[in-house]
């Protein structure tokens, strides 16, 4: 079975943790164990988030006195793909001796006129108290919004239209390679209608929506979205909270999940199932093997109702 695994940002850096390299390496060990168990039986493609990492690089770039202007988000996104891709590739190499592992810098095509450019919604970087966030917004021209634990920077997040390197990824899979790609949703690029030339875009694409698109383009059988909760919850954080263990895309969309957390994950799972007739699931990193085998997580399946 061909599985696209989408790792949440928590897989590398948990909320409140210092963004040190050693901390991220320790978290990667858990990731490698979860993926290695699946890779023994299935073709695996790994995608990952980059919110904490790109936020850190953006702050460093903005504060660097040797630069005449901060680096654009597309190039910072490429840097995070290299950093996280290397961590994952090395650790998976150790966990899967003899297995071909490749980390690929990946570009994702977006429309230049996507309305997402005018309405920043993608959280990046660390959480700040409201006053600090407002001061940084004034100083750096940021857009900010309230997250579940405080205030964070938000950036444009256009809809992914095409993974540029999808054919290359397909060839690598066909040769038995475990591929790490489309990190942070892929480096956002637009294309010139006349020449086909690619240009970077000031944005961060949602990694779960890109994972769903990539899974569709690769004709994957299963989209596995791993996060820090064991399953989707209806009424999350309320006295009526209850686990959702099985749902169709239509049922999942009725949940009204928040944009900053479960919303994009549930939408990505719904899109993949609707467009391909395959299966998707959302659940905890440590239960990856159990989720694929139907023993944990939230399964998203096609609506088989007739008429």
122: annotated active-site residue: yes
Query: Over the chain, what HEC string results?
Result: CEEEEEECHHHCCCCCCCCCHHHHHHHHHHHHHHHHHHHCCCEEEEEECCHHHHHHHHHHHHHCCCCCCCCCHHHHHHHHHHHHHHHHHHHHHHHCCCCEEEECCCEEECCCCCHHHHCCCEEEEEEECHHHHHHHHHHHCCEEEECCCCEEEEECCCCCCEECCHHHHHHHHHCCEEEECCHHHCEEEEECCCCCCEEECCCCCCHHHHHHHHHHHCCCCEEEEEECCCCEEECCCCCCCEEECEECHHHHHCCCCCCCCHHHHHHHHHHHHHHHCCEEEEEEHHHHHHHHCCCCCEEECCCCCCC
Q: Annotated catalytic residue: which of 51, 77, 122, 278?
A: 122
207: annotated active-site residue: yes
Q: Annotated catalytic residue: which of 116, 207, 283, 297?
A: 207
Q: Annotated catalytic residue: which of 10, 49, 125, 231?
A: 10
**CA atoms within 13 Å, Cβ hemisphere of 61:** 16
33: annotated active-site residue: no
Beta bridge partners of 198: 191
Q: Annotated catalytic residue: which of 265, 278, 283, 297?
A: 265
- Residues assigned a catalytic role: 9-10, 122, 207, 265
């Amino acid at each position: 079975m061909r599985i696209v695994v989408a790792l949440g940002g928590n897989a590398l850096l948990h909320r409140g943790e210092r963004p040190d390299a050693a901390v991220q390496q320790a978290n990667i060990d858990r990731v490698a164990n979860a993926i290695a168990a699946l890779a023994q039986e299935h073709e695996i493609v790994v995608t990952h988030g980059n919110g904490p990492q790109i936020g850190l690089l953006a702050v460093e770039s903005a504060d660097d006195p040797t630069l005449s202007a901060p680096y654009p988000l597309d190039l910072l996104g490429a840097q995070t793909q290299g950093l996280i891709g290397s961590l994952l590739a090395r650790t998976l190499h150790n966990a899967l001796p003899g297995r071909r592992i490749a980390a690929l810098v990946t570009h994702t095509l977006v429309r230049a006129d996507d309305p997402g450019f005018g309405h920043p919604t993608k959280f990046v970087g660390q959480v700040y108290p409201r006053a600090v966030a407002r001061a940084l917004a004034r100083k750096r021209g940021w857009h900010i919004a309230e997250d579940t634990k405080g205030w964070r920077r938000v950036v444009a997040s256009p809809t992914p239209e095409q993974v540029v390197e999808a054919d290359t990824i397909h060839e690598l899979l066909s040769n038995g390679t475990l591929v790490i790609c489309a990190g942070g949703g892929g480096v956002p690029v637009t294309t010139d209608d006349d020449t086909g030339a690619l240009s970077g875009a000031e944005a961060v694409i949602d990694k779960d929506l890109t994972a769903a698109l990539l899974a569709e383009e690769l004709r994957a059988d299963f989209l596995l979205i791993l996060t820090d909760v064991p399953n989707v919850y209806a009424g999350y954080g309320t006295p009526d909270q209850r686990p959702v263990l099985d749902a169709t895309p239509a049922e999942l969309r009725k949940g009204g999940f928040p944009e900053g957390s479960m919303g994009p994950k549930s939408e990505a799972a719904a899109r993949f199932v609707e467009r391909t007739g395959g299966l998707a699931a959302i659940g905890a990193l440590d239960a990856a093997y159990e989720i694929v085998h139907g023993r944990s997580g939230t399964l998203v399946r096609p609506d088989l109702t007739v008429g």
